[in-house]
Structure 1
Amino acid sequence: MKAKHYLSSLAFVLAAGLSFPAVAQDTIKIGELNSYKSQPAFLDPYKKGMELALEEVNAKGGVNGKKIELIIRDDGGNPGEAVRVAEELVTREGVVMIAGTFLSHIGLAVTNFAGQKKVFFLAAEPLTDKITWENGNKYTYRLRATTYMQTAMLMPAAIAAKKKRWALVYPNFEYGQSAVQNFKAMLQKAQPDVEFVTEQAPPLGKVDAGAVAQAIDDAKPDAIFNVLFGPDLAKFVREGNTRGVFKDRTVVSLLSGEPEYLDPLGAEAPVGWVVTGYPWDKIKTPEHVAFLTAYQKKFNDYPRLGSVVGYSTIKSIAAGLAKTKGLDADSLVEAFKGLYVQSPFGPFQYRASDHQATMGAYVGKIALEKGKGTMDDIKYVDGASVLPGDNEVKKLRPASAN
């Protein structure tokens, strides 16, 4: 009965974004901040994934006899607010580390905070390469595959298409800018005669989809590289379908195979796009089947990519805590160097050279099944296979970051 009461209380805490008083000697406090209000499609499943992993860890006695207590806060979708919340978690709540963030510019702000204040930060989701390379610091690690990594995963299909005239469409903030910069550099290296005939970069969440789709069609590209996500993606796809923008054109697209963004499109899903994503119903590995079974049993729902990221975030934290000799930031930094973690996608490692995890992603083509978008012709790409080697990392990352 006590265990049941504890888990019920924990579920309430996670759902409400609240915390409850901790007994210092019995728990380890972890602070988590994210854009829950502004990005619910990804972060509601993310929170559920964290809850499932936390329940599993604590049901086994926690880490070294201490249970993990998660204190969740919303960062307001604003870098300044995110830094204020991070400061509050550290100074007022007394957390031993912070984790989370979704949008790249917010992740960068918290990365900077972690470096200045010497606080351990596990960036769960933000994709910009700067977090672990250009703006990397000793105290920041990152879980999810970066824009560079996911763009590299799509590059074989882009090169194989042998298209000369490309259109680019992306949200005009750090994530979109980084993805397009990587795509251009990689494709130009493989295909020097490539032309980029138009770039459409609407503000995040404010896309004029009709105008963007028409501008792309007017440029008469042979192929399109898309980086839009969320409601912006749905609007763009619908307007593009209406105008026939995608007909007879190769489209490669970051993130568009994730259920969070594919499901809202229903039968309008753009068949044939080459995407990174999460075909949850087609992954038959033992690790994923176990995760899927537990997730469906607890939530009576299927997982999204956010669920996997949230789950793997807590599993990473638990693995790091189990390895560390202390709870201070420097001890945590050392514990995460070379740390192996088991995830629904299989084992991955946090690289010592740049603090980037090697968790990969699935690549495939969008297909329709029973009136819903899904991924077909899928392949898992190990993150380690699309990351630069340690010698190259030395050129990308400040020496002080290690």
Structure 2
Amino acid sequence: MHKGARKGLLAVITTAIAGLGIAPLAQAQTNDEIRIGEINSYKIFPAFLEPYKNGMLLAAEQANQDGGINGRKLTIITRDDAGNQGNAIKEAQALISRDKVHALTGGFLSNIGLALADFAAHKKVFYLASEPLTDKLVWADGNDYTYRLRASTYMQVAMLVPEAVKLNKKRWALVYPNYEYGQSAVATFKTLMKQAQPDVEFVADQATPLNKVDAGSVIQALGDARPDAIFNVLFGPDITKFVRAGTTRKFFETIPVVSLLTGEPEYLDTLGADTPKGWIVTGYPWQFIDTPEHKAFIDAYQKRFNDYPRLGSIVGYMAIKSLAEGFRKAGTTDTQALTKAFSGLEVVSPFGPISYRPQDHQSTLGAYVGKLDVKDGRGIMTDIKYVDGATVQPDDAQVAKMRPAK
């Protein structure tokens, strides 16, 4: 798209949604606004991030009801990083210097989240990492200015390991995208499985390029390794290709699979009738959660968007709701005050109450564990249980060893 056409398109988008509290470009900047800069890979992962944007919008509208936050309107300015660390930092710099935002949030890929966290530390700006899952974000590379909302790779793997141990399988194969998130998840799985089942063996590591999996070759390599079970960390388009390649070869009919994230509607919607029955997964079974907090959220979401929520909807909603509560508690937009307010901050989520841990800045938002099945041609989760994030964390002594001293 040439430069003039791009400017015209951005003007149309800005006009269309400027009144909704979310804007891709900076709006009038006044002292009665609290401005949040949000950066994400919208063009690359739309299945997750379009519902995520809806969740942000709903939370912003709710925050702006009845006078806003301490009398100030909450405004979100969004930027697309195109899945590139350099772009993410460039956009973050523009949000701080030109748009004068008071805090940053967002990030989908773990490597981008780490880059934004490092930027936040150097620029002394508050950053709430909404989606990146890598453990380094709050441990090895943790800093005073970065907090994380979503359950980390360690937490979600720790939710699945007890179920993996129950399978009583010795020889495991590992399939994962070959970047920070996948590497972190597999390292944690190996460590926790060895602790729980000392005789476990890892007979194959299939590390694939992100969004470029050669699914047929991966299935062939797994077959050659003859594992008793598989731990999968692929997501997005890669998980669809992997499942369909394995199903075509009838590979999954006799081998159990434990899989991170695959129970999220973003991926089940795409898999449809091809959803692999019996896989043990983490996910979001929105149809079957009957808590009061979730009922209130889903009613508001469906009324606003005439659609059902995805996991992205929860993450976007809670990122903005957390920031709104943080600014309320701080009573100011000052970065140091906001950082202090987030330490121990308590927020009510659609999954129930959560808090942000002072010792590592990780929230206690949990996830659902269950098994995959197919109903009416759609993938669903069955035998679900919610695992509170506070129950799958290392103890404070371990955290102190992993997180650099302040």
Counterparts in 2 of 1:349 and 1:194: CA distance versus 1, 3 Å: same
Asked whether 1:385 is paired with 2:394, we answer: no
> Offset at 1:250?
1.4
What is the aligned counterpart of 1:164 among 161, 170, 186?
A: 170
Partner AA of 1:230 in structure 2: G
> Offset at 1:389?
2.0
Asked whether 1:17 is paired with 2:11, we answer: no
What is the aligned counterpart of 1:113 among 119, 139, 146?
A: 119
What is the aligned counterpart of 1:190 among 191, 196, 203?
A: 196
- Check the 8 A contact 2:21/2:60 in 1, yes or no: no
Q: 2: distance between equivalents of 1:203 and 1:233? A: 12
Q: 1: distance between equivalents of 2:138 and 2:308? A: 31
**Which runs of structure 2 are paired with 1:202-217 in the superposition (5 Å)?**
202-217=208-223
| Secondary structure of 1:326's aligned partner | coil
| Secondary structure of 1:246's aligned partner | helix
| CA deviation string 1:322-374 (max 9, x = no partner) | 00043222111100000001111111000000000000000000011111100
Match in the other structure for 2:84: 78
> Offset at 1:12?
6.0
What is the aligned counterpart of 2:345 among 339, 347, 351?
A: 339
> 5+ unaligned residues in a row in structure 1: which ranges?
1-6
Shifted more, 72-81 versus 165-174: the winner is 72-81
> Offset at 1:17?
2.5
Q: 1: distance between equivalents of 2:44 and 2:26? A: 21
> Offset at 1:75?
1.3
What is the aligned counterpart of 1:306 among 288, 296, 312?
A: 312
Match in the other structure for 2:103: 97
> Offset at 1:18?
3.1
Match in the other structure for 1:318: 324
- What's the % identity of the aligned pairs? 61
| CA deviation string 1:61-91 (max 9, x = no partner) | 2110101011111112111111111111011
- Check the 8 A contact 2:277/2:371 in 1, yes or no: yes
Q: 1: distance between equivalents of 2:66 and 2:47? A: 30
Q: 2: distance between equivalents of 1:137 and 1:338? A: 16
> Offset at 1:30?
0.9
Query: What is the number of residues matched between the two proteins?
Result: 393
The TM-score, its normalising length taken from structure 2, stands at 0.95
- Check the 8 A contact 1:83/1:109 in 2, yes or no: yes
Match in the other structure for 2:181: 175
Q: 2: distance between equivalents of 1:233 and 1:56? A: 35
- Check the 8 A contact 1:148/1:182 in 2, yes or no: yes
Counterparts in 2 of 1:238 and 1:55: CA distance versus 1, 3 Å: same
What is the aligned counterpart of 1:242 among 221, 245, 248?
A: 248
Q: 2: distance between equivalents of 1:318 and 1:13? A: 13
Counterparts in 2 of 1:309 and 1:146: CA distance versus 1, 3 Å: same
Match in the other structure for 2:277: 271
- Check the 8 A contact 1:13/1:20 in 2, yes or no: no
Q: 2: distance between equivalents of 1:69 and 1:284? A: 31
Match in the other structure for 1:291: 297
Match in the other structure for 2:362: 356
- Check the 8 A contact 1:22/1:69 in 2, yes or no: no
Match in the other structure for 1:3: none
Counterparts in 2 of 1:9 and 1:82: CA distance versus 1, 3 Å: closer
- Check the 8 A contact 1:216/1:245 in 2, yes or no: no
Counterparts in 2 of 1:195 and 1:264: CA distance versus 1, 3 Å: same
Partner AA of 1:110 in structure 2: L
Match in the other structure for 1:399: 405
Match in the other structure for 2:235: 229
- Check the 8 A contact 1:30/1:98 in 2, yes or no: yes
Q: 2: distance between equivalents of 1:290 and 1:252? A: 31
Q: 1: distance between equivalents of 2:342 and 2:53? A: 23
Shifted more, 307-316 versus 320-329: the winner is 320-329
| CA deviation string 1:205-240 (max 9, x = no partner) | 100001101111121111000000010000000000
Q: 2: distance between equivalents of 1:62 and 1:203? A: 44
What is the aligned counterpart of 1:46 among 52, 72, 97?
A: 52
Partner AA of 2:359 in structure 1: S
Asked whether 1:199 is paired with 2:197, we answer: no
**Which runs of structure 2 are paired with 1:116-127 in the superposition (5 Å)?**
116-127=122-133
> Offset at 1:56?
0.8
What is the aligned counterpart of 1:140 among 146, 153, 165?
A: 146
Q: 2: distance between equivalents of 1:321 and 1:51? A: 17
Asked whether 1:63 is paired with 2:69, we answer: yes
- Check the 8 A contact 2:231/2:259 in 1, yes or no: yes
> 5+ unaligned residues in a row in structure 2: which ranges?
1-14
- Check the 8 A contact 2:39/2:80 in 1, yes or no: yes
Q: 2: distance between equivalents of 1:389 and 1:105? A: 26
Q: 2: distance between equivalents of 1:331 and 1:107? A: 23
Partner AA of 1:152 in structure 2: A
Match in the other structure for 1:253: 259
> Offset at 1:245?
1.6
- Check the 8 A contact 1:164/1:195 in 2, yes or no: yes
